[in-house]
Amino acid sequence: MNRYGVFGNPIEHSLSPIIHTQFAQQTGCEIEYEKILAPLDDFAKIAQEFIDKGAKGFNITVPFKIEAFNLATQHSLNAQTAGAVNTIKINGNELMGENTDGIGLVNDLTKNLNIDLNNKTLLILGAGGATRGILLPLLKQQPRRLMIANRTASKAVDLAKDFSAYGKTCGFGLDKVKNDPVDVIINATSASLDGKMPDIASGVANGAICYDLMYGVQTPFMDWAKANNAKMIADGLGMLVEQAAAAFEFWTSKQPDTQAVIQNLRR
């Protein structure tokens, strides 16, 4: 029985054990997958104990993704550019760090929702860790333009500069969002946690695909998208399952059927 798990704080709400157990059943892998609550100041120690027990790998969620980056001994390009790790594969003494968040989002958009991002105009709201984690895989889809709008404009400008080698990006303040429609808007702010939707020009949503990285709740962003004629509104449940699938494949080289798991969770 191969041992895996997910570290976070809080962790009780995590759907990862359910998702990975279904993947394992589908692919005939024998795995044990547990939720591990790490103390805020002791992630590395708890992770090392898990490694010493012979674990094969683990996921890392809020707030330990940067600490997981520091723990990893090798980093994929996704992990390097994200500056954060959500998946570690244990290979002898090596801890291979990967970040599957962006791949998860892109796979949900392109495969599950059938959205072609090539040559499209994308607008991301927010310039924190969540945005940094999704930029490289989004830019690899070669959008016409990827705009980052943030409450603190300088953070959006800096982030866009960091990724300029990978595609056409620009950053600005939320107040500079134009009233012209874009193809896809992604909400990567944590404003919903305060029950808020950033105050931006509403015409940008007209006919747009509006995607919230959050899942399990109708967010103020989703309400705003509906009120402003969005073409499609999606939450981040598909991304959650797809990022898990990319982690599962990284560990086991097996590709699970994500659609079945998404349908199960929605039910």
Footprint on this chain of ligand ATR (rule: CB under 6 A): 126-130, 150-152, 155, 189-191, 194, 196, 198
Judged by beta carbon, residue 16 or residue 61, the one nearer ligand ATR is 61
Q: Can you tell me the distance from the alpha carbon of 85 to that of 223, in angstroms, rounded to the nearest whole number?
A: 31
Closest approach, Cβ 92 to ligand ATR, in A, equals 31
Judged by beta carbon, residue 135 or residue 247, the one nearer ligand ATR is 135
Q: Can you tell me the distance from the alpha carbon of 264 to that of 248, in angstroms, rounded to the nearest whole number?
A: 18
Closest approach, Cβ 123 to ligand ATR, in A, equals 13
Judged by beta carbon, residue 17 or residue 129, the one nearer ligand ATR is 129
Residue recorded with tokens 């570290």: 7
Q: Can you tell me the distance from the alpha carbon of 192 to that of 222, in angstroms, rounded to the nearest whole number?
A: 10
Q: Can you tell me the distance from the alpha carbon of 5 to that of 171, in angstroms, rounded to the nearest whole number?
A: 36
Please return the burial class of 18, using the count of CB atoms within 10 Å of its CB with bins 0-12, 13-18 and 19+.
middle
Judged by beta carbon, residue 127 or residue 239, the one nearer ligand ATR is 127
CA proximity to 110, closest of 239, 205, 216? 239
33, β-bridge pairs: 4
Q: Can you tell me the distance from the alpha carbon of 222 to that of 211, in angstroms, rounded to the nearest whole number?
A: 8
Closest approach, Cβ 158 to ligand ATR, in A, equals 11
Active site residue 176: no
Judged by beta carbon, residue 55 or residue 159, the one nearer ligand ATR is 159
**Catalytic, out of 45, 53, 56, 65:** 65
Looking at residue 120, its amino acid is: K
Please return the burial class of 169, using the count of CB atoms within 10 Å of its CB with bins 0-12, 13-18 and 19+.
buried
Judged by beta carbon, residue 165 or residue 193, the one nearer ligand ATR is 193
- Give the torsion through C-alpha atoms of 206, 207, 213, 216, to 10 deg: 100
- Give the torsion through C-alpha atoms of 186, 191, 195, 196, to 10 deg: -80
Q: Which residues are catalytic?
A: 65
